[in-house]
């Protein structure tokens, strides 16, 4: 699976947009970008995933660059409850490899 | 509601003892996984299972064992051979649906060796 690079930590003011970057320069054509988050002492929670088009759901938006070498997760109006570690993961959509590999992610702290 | 149940939430074990962590899901997912998380670290895969009666080692399987006798259940045994068992253990499941591998995680079991 392609490797990802994320900043170890970020801060955001409550009510503002949080933009979390992820670099995945070695991503291949059949690999999706997934985002999960983990609130302290809980299991990770799926947020969103995409292949090459931008995606939006009730939680967040995912912007993938045209060359697919990087992406940004956007939380449009961050709240204190969005404070968590955010993981960016890339992996193929097909094949027998079920595994998701979680790095250290980005600790997002939303401040009042 | 469908989901994954891990029990117990907290577990204390004496050195040299085996202990089994429970993981049950009612999501009808085919695949199940066990991860270990140490403080300030990401998740590391211990074992995973794609179908009943079949499982594969992950990245850190030494000192652990699993079974998958039922689709709903994937218990993890931490044996006395595991040198540093104190950690947060997470179980997850996913459907086998091409193009989407979203995982659903349990709330975790925090194991402490005393």
Kindly state whether A50 is in contact with chain B, defined as any CB-CB distance less than 8 angstroms. Answer: no
By a Cβ cutoff of 8 Å, what residues of chain B touch chain A?
4, 31, 33, 35, 40-45, 48, 50, 58, 88, 90, 92, 94, 96, 98-108, 110
Average pLDDT over residues B23-40: 93
CB contact under 8 A, A44 and B33: no
- Which of chain A's residues have a Cβ under 8 Å away from the Cβ of B44? 102
pLDDT band at A21 (very low <50, low <70, confident <90, very high): very high
Q: For B68-108, where are the E strands, in sequence order?
A: 76-78, 87-94, 104-105
Which residue in chain B has the smallest CA separation from A95? B98
- Which of chain B's residues have a Cβ under 8 Å away from the Cβ of A96? 50
Residue showing tokens 């809980």? A42
The pLDDT score that the predictor gives to residue A41 is 86
Output the average pLDDT for chain B: 91
- Which of chain B's residues have a Cβ under 8 Å away from the Cβ of A43? 4, 90, 92, 105-108
- Which of chain B's residues have a Cβ under 8 Å away from the Cβ of A22? none
Rounded to 5 degrees, φ, ψ at B25 are -130, 145
CB contact under 8 A, B98 and A44: no
Q: How far apart are CA B27 and CA B108, in angstroms?
A: 17
And the tokens for B105?
């995680």
CB contact under 8 A, A102 and B35: yes
The pLDDT score that the predictor gives to residue A60 is 97
pLDDT band at A30 (very low <50, low <70, confident <90, very high): confident
pLDDT tens track for A64-107: 999 999 999 999 999 999 999 999 998 876 555 567 788 889 99
């Amino acid at each position: 699976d392609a490797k990802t690079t994320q900043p170890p930590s970020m801060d955001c003011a409550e009510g503002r947009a949080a933009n979390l970057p992820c670099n995945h320069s070695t991503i291949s054509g059949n690999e999706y970008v997934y985002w999960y988050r983990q609130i302290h002492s809980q299991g990770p929670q799926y947020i969103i995933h995409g292949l090459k088009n931008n995606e939006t759901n009730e939680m967040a938006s995912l912007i993938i660059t045209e060359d697919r070498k990087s992406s940004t997760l956007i939380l449009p109006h961050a709240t204190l409850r969005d404070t968590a570690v955010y993981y960016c993961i890339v992996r193929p959509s097909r094949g027998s490899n079920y595994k998701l590999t979680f790095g250290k992610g980005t600790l997002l702290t939303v401040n009042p | 509601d469908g989901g994954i149940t891990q029990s117990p939430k907290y577990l204390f074990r004496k050195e040299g003892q085996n202990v089994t962590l429970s993981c049950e899901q009612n999501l009808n997912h085919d695949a199940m996984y066990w991860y270990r998380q140490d403080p300030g670290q990401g998740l590391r895969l211990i074992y995973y299972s794609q179908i009943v009666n079949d499982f594969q080692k992950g990245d850190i399987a030494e000192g652990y064992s699993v079974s998958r006798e039922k689709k709903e259940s994937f218990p993890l045994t931490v044996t006395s051979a595991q040198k540093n068992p104190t950690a947060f253990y997470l179980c997850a499941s996913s459907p086998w649906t091409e193009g989407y591998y979203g995982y659903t995680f349990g709330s975790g079991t925090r194991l402490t060796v005393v």
